[in-house]
Amino acid sequence: MSDAYLALEDGRVIEARGRAPGRTRGELVFTTAYTGYEESLTDPSYEEQVLTFSYPLIGNYGVREERFESDRVHPRAAIAHEFTEDVVEWLESENVPAIDHIDSRDLVTSIREEGAMKCGIAVGDDVTPEDAKAELEQCKGMSEHVDIGKRVTTVEHTTYGEGGDVDVALIDCGAKMSIVESLVERDAAVHVLSYDTTPAELADVDPDLLFISNGPGDPANFEAAETLVEEYVGEVPIAGICLGQQVVARALGGTTEKMNFGHRGVNQPVRDLESGQVVMTTQNHGYTVGEPGDELHVKQVNVNDGTAEGLANEELDVITRQYHPEAHPGPHDSLGFFDEVLAMTDASHHVVADD
């Protein structure tokens, strides 16, 4: 085992057990999920962050590639009370520093009380607290990566599923693979397109549905996706998940804002305002919709803090969710969202390129 130190923005330096070597920095966030560590670590929404697991033991059912949400680990580092050897070997193979033998629940409590904070991590045989502090200082001097979408988007147009009557254009701002799978399972052909797709490029696909995916960071950094919504709202049905909800809201006159520590985990309760039903959801976001604007109506809210969890405009065929209805790693309460989305489509909805 190697030495490890975690330097926090609040001035603390915590000694830990080094599991996977390396030095890095980032925004320290947490997840409360008991399971789903494979899905969390491969979720592109964690890009450039340092992920802390509040559940004590991470890795007790191994590592299986079929559970991955993308082709790599996205957090810059991982923290837990205890990692199993399977997870350590995986993180080491991905060159992602990992530390454990730390009071992760106390760390999560600090984030909840003080908000998400910057941190520096140093892991290795000869590292010192000063090495972790140096990483933290570099992090303090960095502004948020404005082109973060380039790090997580698809390299080329890829189509999944043979499809029936529905072609979905999924704008990949950091999409989880389970979103694609949820649509393909419902007989849609899913065209995964880059986060910076232009209106003319979208017109070439001629989709029946425009879908804005989840993704990392500030939704203000995804201006191209915003432009697509502005250009084609009312022309084709539009849906969005997580960052996608925020992008759609911004495009239709709403505002977004950064949260204190975000919603991250599989135990977030959401209430539907029309039915009164409460469902449990999986979430991972640090920004939220502040004001929905005049075009969108709040349909669902977070039971804990009242933030917008679902927006819609029936006349414009727009529906969004802040949480992850694809239910990976769970729970499965909200899978019906994909049926609602696909029900908006019909043969009359096609994008026409501008002259």
Task: Delineate the domains of the chain, giving CATH numbers in brackets.
Answer: 2-140 (3.50.30.20), 149-343 (3.40.50.880)
Name the one residue in this structure whose structure tokens are 């908006």.
344
Cα–Cα distance, 261 to 120 (Å, whole number): 18
* CA angle (134, 137, 141) in 5-degree steps: 145
Q: What's this model's pTM, rounded to 2 decimal places?
A: 0.94
Query: What is residue 351's predicted lDDT score, i.e. its pLDDT?
Result: 47
Sign, CA dihedral 265-304-301-279, equals positive
Catalytic residue among 27, 38, 309, 326: 326
Which tokens belong to 284?
């991972």
Confirm or deny that 215 is annotated as ligand binding: yes
Confirm or deny that 245 is annotated as ligand binding: no
324 is annotated as an active-site residue: yes
285 is annotated as an active-site residue: no
Helix ranges (H only) for 20-70 are 37-41
173 is annotated as an active-site residue: no
Query: What is residue 336's predicted lDDT score, i.e. its pLDDT?
Result: 87
Confirm or deny that 213 is annotated as ligand binding: no
Residue 249 backbone phi and psi in degrees, to 5 = -60, -45
CA 173 → CA 159, 161, 229, 323, 334, distances in Å? 16, 20, 14, 15, 22
Query: What is residue 144's predicted lDDT score, i.e. its pLDDT?
Result: 64
Q: Are 342 and 188 in contact (CB under 8 A)?
A: yes
Query: What is residue 267's predicted lDDT score, i.e. its pLDDT?
Result: 87
Catalytic residue among 74, 191, 263, 324: 324
Confirm or deny that 95 is annotated as ligand binding: no
Cα–Cα distance, 284 to 175 (Å, whole number): 12
Query: What is residue 352's predicted lDDT score, i.e. its pLDDT?
Result: 46
Confirm or deny that 300 is annotated as ligand binding: no
Query: What is residue 330's predicted lDDT score, i.e. its pLDDT?
Result: 63
Cα–Cα distance, 353 to 236 (Å, whole number): 13
Catalytic residue among 242, 285, 328, 349: 242
Q: Are 309 and 261 in contact (CB under 8 A)?
A: no
Per-residue pLDDT of the chain (355 residues; tens, 9 = 90+): 679 999 999 999 999 999 999 999 999 999 988 899 999 999 999 999 999 999 999 999 999 999 999 999 999 999 999 999 999 999 999 999 999 999 998 999 999 999 989 999 999 999 999 999 999 999 886 666 678 999 999 999 999 998 778 999 999 999 999 999 999 999 999 999 999 999 999 999 999 999 999 999 999 999 999 999 999 999 999 999 999 999 999 999 999 999 999 999 888 999 999 999 999 999 999 999 999 999 999 999 999 999 999 999 999 999 999 999 986 776 667 778 999 999 999 744 444 444 3
Confirm or deny that 284 is annotated as ligand binding: yes
CA 63 → CA 41, 78, 87, 146, distances in Å? 11, 15, 7, 32
Pairing of strands 166-172, 188-194: parallel
Which tokens belong to 282?
């999986």
Which tokens belong to 20?
């996977």
Which amino acid, one-letter code, is at 245?
Q
Q: Are 308 and 301 in contact (CB under 8 A)?
A: yes
